[in-house]
Amino acid sequence: MQNMHRSPASKKILFFDKIRLHFLKICFIILAMENLYKINGEKSLEIKAWAKINLTLDVLGKMPNGYHQLSTVMQKISLYDLLTISVQDTPKISITSNNSAIPTDESNLAYRAAERLISSYNIQKGIKIDIKKHIPISAGLAGGSADCAATLTGINKLFALKIPSEKLAEIGKSLGADVPFCLLNAGTALAEGIGEKLTALKSHPPVSIALAHLPVEVSTKDVFSRYFGRSEGQSPFMLKAITSGDIASIAENLANDLTEVTTALHPKILDLISAFREHRALGVNMSGSGPTVFAYFTSETHATMAIKIINKSFPECNFFCVRPKNLT
């Protein structure tokens, strides 16, 4: 018969194996909690809200409800706002930000997102949302929609509401047309309808993108009301380019039907587009209804150099060097 008694050495090994097992369990718990932590004794969560650009924006016509039917290939980029969502005992919604231009009432989409979940899921606690704003406001980059989506996602995690992604997208759609895309766990997608019908696409290949935000006020509603063109429908060509993964083809097919309208209202946007083309950008486009312009470059060095030179002619602009953000 085998000796059933363990030697001191084997007992020591078993002891350390148990310690290692407990350590791994703790690591898994920490990973599962992600960035959930406590501030002043209350649960909080940090979450990034990614900006987007429109690689194409085809306006296909006007629907009976007054909205325009769109076909647009959308791409998340590495520019983001950072939200800290905290539980507070006082049953109210509080919003703070490093940007004084951010509304802190019901006109803020993040506020409305919190309000919707509190009422729909009988949340008895209050919620504080701090927004560290990096995405320019009203820039065609979906900054407000991204904050709204991050708030929905954050509160869902913070209170363990277990709201399915389909339901969260439905709530998001009622708050803003770009919110469902911002909620999508994909960096690249085709958006149709008013933007709520989403098809996740192959991840965008790496590329350096120069982003220029001209600080002028653009009303999306006004831009759409002035659009009477007939779309050539660039999105199908962009879908092929994304599938091929060829940067040159993607850059060649960048297009936006609203560019003509917005640049007629703000000609300096057209000057920006021309400036990027003069500096040998692979392709240039306006995002959304504007006023932000973006340009593809072969390298970060090339993009940074172009920004440095163009900034001298457009000192009022905010410039960023970003890359596609792929979440899957």
Question: Mean pLDDT over residues 294-300, rounded?
Answer: 97
Question: Which pLDDT score, from 0 to 100, does residue 16 have?
Answer: 54
pLDDT at 221 over 60: yes
Rg (the chain; Cα; Å): 24
Mean pLDDT of the chain: 90
CA atoms 297, 300, 301, 304: torsion sign: positive
Domains of the chain, earliest start first: 42-200 (3.30.230.10), 208-322 (3.30.70.890)
Predicted confidence (pLDDT) at residue 290 exceeds the cutoff of 70:
yes
Per-residue model confidence as pLDDT tens digits over 100-150:
999 999 999 999 999 999 999 999 999 999 999 999 999 999 999 999 999
- Judged by average pLDDT, the poorest of 8-22, 62-76, 196-210, 287-301 is 8-22
Q: How far apart, in Å, are the Cα atoms of 303 and each of 43, 44, 123, 124, 310?
A: 41, 37, 47, 49, 11
pLDDT of residue 187 exceeding 70, the answer is yes
pLDDT > 70? residue 293:
yes
pLDDT of residue 28: 44
Residues serving a catalytic function are: 52, 178
What's the token pair of residue 265?
Answer: 């209202």
pTM: 0.86
Give the rounded percent of residues in the chain with a pLDDT score beyond 90.
81
Residue 32 has pLDDT above 60, yes or no: no
2-31 confidence digits (pLDDT tens) = 444 556 555 555 555 555 655 555 444 444
| Contact indicator for 256, 218 with CB cutoff of 8 Å | no
Task: Give the residue ranges of DSSP H helices in 70-142.
Answer: 109-120
pLDDT of residue 23: 54
- Find the DSSP H helices in the chain: 8-33, 109-120, 143-158, 165-175, 179-183, 220-225, 235-244, 247-252, 259-265, 267-278, 300-313
Percentage of the chain with pLDDT > 70? 87
Counts of helices then strands in the chain (DSSP H, E): 11, 12
Write the pLDDT tens digit of every residue in 229-244.
878 899 999 999 999 9
Q: Mind listing the pLDDT tens digit for each residue in 110-122?
A: 999 999 999 999 9
Q: Decide: helix, strand or coil at residue 274.
A: helix
- Between CA 184 and CA 165 the distance in angstroms is 8
Question: What would the mean pLDDT of 214-240 be, rounded to a whole number?
Answer: 93
Over residues 216-220, mean pLDDT: 94
- Say whether 211 sits in a helix, a strand or coil: strand
Q: What is the pLDDT of residue 17?
A: 59
**Bond before 324 cis per omega within 30 degrees:** no
What is the C-alpha separation between 270 and 284, in angstroms, rounded?
11
Q: What is the pLDDT of residue 42?
A: 55
